[in-house]
């Protein structure tokens, strides 16, 4: 009874929260109220209503403009109390609506003349983020090839760094890579020159660990990480990576993380199913690259170690990431680069914006970045991590300070989790179809038991689960630095094993048929310990194929139309018939 009461209270609280959730729609600012009178009432009646408003509320209604007369749109000064009073007054019956005359503001657009070419900044909605913060007071360490003082970094604030390649305090760039990366993070902005940066009021700490040829050692990188942590860096960006697990580097990362530093690294450009080091280490935010269309860039690594994705560009033209850097002669020039090296500083810049709101702990920053990311459906191979970087959403979430129930509900709604289609179309783990497969297999077993009594056993139940759904909740599960194929396989039913290995949603007809249940029954029927597992598997596969025939009838070689549905239904019937025959064989004659 107590449990029932507790569940009831939780449901009541949930319903109250949902029905009273107003969200962004009611959060605007206003100083005036709009009265839109119905067009089917005479002008004389409207005049009487306006006079009543003026007398009762001491207001002076007036047309919004000379163009408002045909629509009967009037404006009065007022606050929320006045708004509620007008909405409850007899005047409301003569209006189509009475609502706030909200004030919308122009989103900050920098005056940098080449900003219109920075599709990457607009794609992460940085203009809305600038309404809250521009990164002031935060220090971002750029561990790279160094930074050269190009004109569009003239107003950017720098703090003392170090050149670990040449062992000196003067840090210059002899490649152009580090200068380009620093520009994305904090290029001088609103200076009527060049392009813009994300956290352009932040401080930049230049740390050179890569030579002119782009190579650097783990020892130098580890020292640079510790230097940044010891000299009050808030964020570290490492647009570098490679193979090989280093205890020295891992210890340096742990050291910086414990001191509150957010550490970001590029996932790598080899198009491999795993991020490179150091992105793969714990406490490092691994960043995959997006093209201008928001798709995974063809060169970007994916899979284990990828936490989030951000614009990395494609090509060196309009599809690349534009910043001012230096050429081989050391001369300043605007150039577009591509790579996860370009994607990582986007996340570093947004992390600086989030830190500037007062958030301190690196794990909190990571949580904000992930929860605010624009989710990508059907990301079975983890191309995008938590999703696509969203600067505006990240900053707004950070400004709230904590994730309340309403914030969590908003996140669920905005990311589609409250839409049943999300669960049905495979956006997460296809919850509803999977439950239907499990329940279907149990129902089939129950029908058999009605006519051929037998004892339920763990062997039978294991077969039902393996054949119908597998451990489906594992299919989208990720463990750091571990390949995803085992989880996809364990999270699949027998008919889905083929596409789980291939990483797609198309059923393999060899697996999605009576073949495997037939082999299991043929080999295990005479083995007392395993025969019921084979029978349960046949029933589970029958349920799985039946549900797929309705929900997702995509079969390799048969398409996804009527032929595929017929194939799946016939094999579902054959699986059930096979289980029926096997159970008959078990009954005493």
Active site amino acids? 144, 177, 341
Taking the alpha carbons of 68, 71, 76, 81 in that order, is the dihedral positive or negative?
A: negative
8 A C-beta contact, residue 307 and residue 285: yes
Rounded Cα gap, residues 89 and 339, in angstroms: 61
Strands 73-77 and 62-63: antiparallel
For 244, left (φ over 0), alpha (ψ -120 to 50), or beta? left
8 A C-beta contact, residue 567 and residue 541: no
**For residue 32, which of 66, 69, 63 has the smallest C-alpha distance?**
63
How many other CB atoms sit within 10 Å of the CB of residue 190?
16
Angle at 125 between CA 120 and CA 130, to 5 degrees: 110
**For residue 198, which of 188, 208, 206 has the smallest C-alpha distance?**
188
Rounded Cα gap, residues 300 and 470, in angstroms: 31
8 A C-beta contact, residue 323 and residue 112: no
Q: Which positions ≥6 away from 488 have C-beta within 8 Å? A: 380, 475, 500, 501, 503
SS3 content of the chain, % helix, strand, coil (to 5): 45, 15, 40
Q: Which positions ≥6 away from 88 have C-beta within 8 Å? A: none
Q: Which stretches of 413-539 are assigned E, i.e. beta strand?
A: none
The torsion of the CA quartet 142, 144, 147, 151, rounded to 10 degrees, works out to -80
8 A C-beta contact, residue 296 and residue 313: no
């Amino acid at each position: 009874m107590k449990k029932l009461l507790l569940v009831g209270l939780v449901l009541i609280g949930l319903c109250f929260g949902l029905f009273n959730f107003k969200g962004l729609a009611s959060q605007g600012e206003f100083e005036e109220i709009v009265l839109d009178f119905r067009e089917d009432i005479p002008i004389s009646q409207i005049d009487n209503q306006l006079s009543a408003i003026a007398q009762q509320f001491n207001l002076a209604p007036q047309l919004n403009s000379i163009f408002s007369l045909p629509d009967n749109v009037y404006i009065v000064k007022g606050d929320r109390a006045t708004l509620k009073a007008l909405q409850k007054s007899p005047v409301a019956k003569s209006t189509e609506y009475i609502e706030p005359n909200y004030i919308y503001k122009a989103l900050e657009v920098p005056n940098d003349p080449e900003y219109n070419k920075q599709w990457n900044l607009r794609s992460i909605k940085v203009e809305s983020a600038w309404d809250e913060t521009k990164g002031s007071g935060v220090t971002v360490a750029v561990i790279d090839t160094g930074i050269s003082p190009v004109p569009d970094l003239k107003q950017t604030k720098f703090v003392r760094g170090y050149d670990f390649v040449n062992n000196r305090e003067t840090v210059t760039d002899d490649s152009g890579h580090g200068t380009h990366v620093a520009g994305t993070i904090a290029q001088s902005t609103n200076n009527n020159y060049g392009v813009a940066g994300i956290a352009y009021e932040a401080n930049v700490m230049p740390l050179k660990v890569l030579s002119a040829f782009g190579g650097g050692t783990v020892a130098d990188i580890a020292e640079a990480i510790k230097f940044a942590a010891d000299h009050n860096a808030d964020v570290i960006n490492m647009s570098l990576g490679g193979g090989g697990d280093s205890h020295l580097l891992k210890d340096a990362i742990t050291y910086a993380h414990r001191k509150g530093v957010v550490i970001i690294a590029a996932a790598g450009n080899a198009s491999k199913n795993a991020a490179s080091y150091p992105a793969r280490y714990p406490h490092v935010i691994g960043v995959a690259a997006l093209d201008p269309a928001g798709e995974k860039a063809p060169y970007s690594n994916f899979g284990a170690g990828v936490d989030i994705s951000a614009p990395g560009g494609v090509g060196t033209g309009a599809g690349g990431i534009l910043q001012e850097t230096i050429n081989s002669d050391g001369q300043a020039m605007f150039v577009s680069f591509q790579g996860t090296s370009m994607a990582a500083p986007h996340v570093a810049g947004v992390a600086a914006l989030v830190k500037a709101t007062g958030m301190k702990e690196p794990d909190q920053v990571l949580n904000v970045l992930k929860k605010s990311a624009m989710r990508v459906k059907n990301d079975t191979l983890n191309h995008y991590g938590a999703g696509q970087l969203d600067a505006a959403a990240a900053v707004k979430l950070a400004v709230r300070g904590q994730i309340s129930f309403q914030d969590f509900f908003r996140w669920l709604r905005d990311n589609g989790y409250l839409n049943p289609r999300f669960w049905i179309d495979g956006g997460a783990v296809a919850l509803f179809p999977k439950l239907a497969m499990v329940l279907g297999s149990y129902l089939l077993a129950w029908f058999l038991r009605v006519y051929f009594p037998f004892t339920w056993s763990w062997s039978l139940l294991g077969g039902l689960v393996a054949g119908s759904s597998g451990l489906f909740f594992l299919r989208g599960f990720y463990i750091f630095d571990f390949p995803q194929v085992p989880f996809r396989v364990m999270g699949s039913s027998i008919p889905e094993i083929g596409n789980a290995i291939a990483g797609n949603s198309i059923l393999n007809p060899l697996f999605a048929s009576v073949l495997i249940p037939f082999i299991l029954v043929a080999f295990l029927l005479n083995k007392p310990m395993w025969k019921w597992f084979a029978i349960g598997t046949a029933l589970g596969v029958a349920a799985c194929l039946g549900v797929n025939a309705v929900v997702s009838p995509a079969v390799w070689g048969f398409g996804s139309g009527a032929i595929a549905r017929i194939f799946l239904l016939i094999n579902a019937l054959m699986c059930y018939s096979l289980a029926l025959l096997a159970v008959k064989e078990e009954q005493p004659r």
